[in-house]
């Protein structure tokens, strides 16, 4: 009886806290308050289910994930009509070639908590949560994670057991290489070898980029404007890919004078250099493991790149920038996820676990300060916005 009373009290407290944070969020609509609602909703579910039931929830999550991946690969998502119309398991089987029994059994795992809706016996319909998988870039995110990186997470335990629980994860020997049988190659080298996998990975990166704040975190005009002139190299975007970020910066900071330079591997620049120059941006092939050819730029900007590299490689990249910097006017700007020292979210966790599969890592402010220090730089400021998981780490020469 005491246990029941205790659980009732805990349930009431969790419910009251959820109601309170929901009311706060409805007034503010901030990402931070939204996160608080999610955490309190999770706490309510945990309180209601209890420890043993939550352990079994791990199996439920695995079944749901496995079913979604299978149904997506089998073409079931495309077979079900959009717009709220339903379809029978028999019709799905006829459209996809998947045995009806398998359709029904997998749908059992894909309807109680979504993403599909069960509308009757062996009758199913889309919801907004299943239709999102039909968006090409979002589908690429899911399939890339499920095929390329989640298997490494699942065998991380096996890899670390082989290493006697020591952190011996490297770029060429890691959970990713264990799963894909490619020891001696980096994950990116392995992806390059399969054009379809690499295209899928690139599409997933575009989708991930589109969901992140790109501009507005760092006040470029305010900080760089007083130092810039028409001849100044104002910004070098290092590893900037096809240049969508440097274009956004140039477009949103129209009063910022100077030269804007996009750098990436020569093959990337050759594919896109002429296009980017239409926007007044110079394109330059460059390997960031080699000395930086542009000296004394006001800002060397590197975005969502260093988390792909361990400290040794990241130190080399940053040291090359330090050697090119002007002591009085240059700074390095690094846009990355910043892991909180306390109270990190599951978003930070799954991102870091993904990086771990192939030798990268997400970093805290302390981690960034250490990395900068060993690279000849010092952390000046971390520019943040409430509820935004990425920040801009600003560094100057020591």
Torsion of CA 125, 127, 129, 134, to 10 degrees: 70
Kindly write down the DSSP assignment for every residue of 293-336, as one continuous string.
Answer: SS-S-SEEEEES-GGGS-HHHHHHHHHHHHHH--TTT-EEEEEE
Q: Is 307 annotated in the active site?
A: yes
Rounded CA-CA distance 355/347 in Å is 12
pLDDT digits (tens, 9 = 90+) for 116-149: 999 999 999 999 999 999 998 899 999 999 999 9
Strand, coil or helix: what is 39?
helix
Q: Where are the chain's structural domains?
A: 2-132, 136-210, 220-344+359-397
Strand, coil or helix: what is 395?
strand
2-132 and 220-344+359-397 share one fold: no
What residues are paired with 134 via a beta bridge? Answer: none
Using N-to-C axis directions, what is the helix angle for 2-28 and 31-74, rounded to 10°?
100
- Which residue in the list 307, 337, 348, 370 is annotated as catalytic? 307
What residues are paired with 95 via a beta bridge? Answer: none
Residue 383 near residue 217 (C-beta atoms within 8 A): yes
Helices (H), the chain: 2-28, 31-74, 76-79, 89-96, 100-110, 128-131, 136-144, 150-154, 156-162, 175-180, 187-192, 195-210, 220-224, 244-252, 266-277, 311-324, 346-358, 365-374
Tokens (6 digits) for 354: 């993904």
Residue 236 near residue 297 (C-beta atoms within 8 A): yes
Segments of the chain with pLDDT less than 70? 1-6, 210-215, 273
Rounded CA-CA distance 104/88 in Å is 10
What's the confidence (pLDDT) of residue 3? 52
Homologous superfamily assigned to 220-344+359-397? Vaccinia Virus protein VP39 (3.40.50.150)
What's the confidence (pLDDT) of residue 366? 97
CATH of domain 2-132: 1.10.10.10
Kindly write down the DSSP assignment for every residue of 211-257, as one continuous string.
Answer: TS--SSSS-HHHHHGGG--TTSEEEEEET-TTSHHHHHHHHH-TT--
What's the confidence (pLDDT) of residue 88? 98
pLDDT digits (tens, 9 = 90+) for 88-124: 999 999 999 999 999 999 999 999 999 999 999 999 9
Rounded CA-CA distance 64/70 in Å is 10
């Amino acid at each position: 009886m005491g246990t029941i009373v205790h659980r009732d009290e805990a349930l009431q407290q969790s419910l009251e806290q959820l109601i309170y944070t929901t009311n706060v969020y409805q007034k503010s609509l901030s990402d931070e308050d939204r996160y608080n609602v999610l955490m309190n909703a999770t706490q309510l579910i945990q309180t209601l289910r209890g420890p043993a039931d939550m352990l079994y929830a791990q199996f439920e999550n695995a079944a749901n994930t496995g079913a979604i991946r299978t149904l997506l690969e089998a073409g079931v998502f495309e077979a079900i009509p959009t717009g709220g119309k339903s379809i029978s398991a028999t019709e799905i089987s006829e459209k996809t070639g998947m045995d009806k029994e398998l359709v029904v059994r997998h749908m059992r795992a894909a309807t109680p908590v979504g993403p599909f809706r069960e509308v009757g016996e062996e009758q199913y319909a889309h919801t907004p949560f299943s239709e999102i998988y039909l968006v090409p870039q979002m589908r690429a995110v899911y399939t890339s994670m499920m095929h390329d990186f989640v298997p490494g997470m699942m065998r991380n335990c096996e890899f670390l057991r082989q290493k006697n629980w020591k952190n011996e994860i490297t770029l060429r020997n890691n959970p990713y290489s264990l799963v894909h049988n490619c020891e001696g190659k980096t994950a990116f080298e392995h992806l390059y070898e399969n054009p379809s996998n690499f295209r899928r990975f690139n599409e997933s990166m575009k989708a991930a980029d589109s969901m992140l704040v790109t501009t507005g975190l760092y006040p470029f005009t305010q900080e760089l404007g007083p130092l810039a002139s028409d001849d100044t190299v104002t910004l070098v975007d290092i590893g900037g890919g096809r240049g969508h970020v440097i274009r956004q910066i140039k477009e949103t900071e129209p009063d910022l004078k100077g030269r804007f330079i996009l750098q990436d591997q020569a093959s990337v620049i050759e594919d896109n250099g002429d296009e980017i120059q239409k926007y007044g941006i110079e394109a330059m092939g460059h390997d960031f493991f080699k000395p930086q050819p542009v000296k004394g730029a006001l800002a060397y900007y590197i975005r969502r790149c260093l988390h792909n590299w361990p400290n040794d490689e990241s130190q080399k990249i940053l040291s090359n920038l330090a050697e090119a910097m002007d002591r009085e006017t240059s700074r390095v700007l690094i846009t990355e996820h910043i892991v909180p020292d306390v109270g990190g979210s599951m978003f930070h966790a799954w991102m870091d676990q993904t990086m771990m599969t192939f030798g990268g890592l997400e970093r805290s402010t302390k981690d960034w300060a250490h990395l900068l220090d060993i690279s000849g730089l010092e952390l000046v400021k971390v520019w943040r916005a409430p509820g935004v998981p990425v920040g801009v780490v600003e560094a100057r020469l020591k």
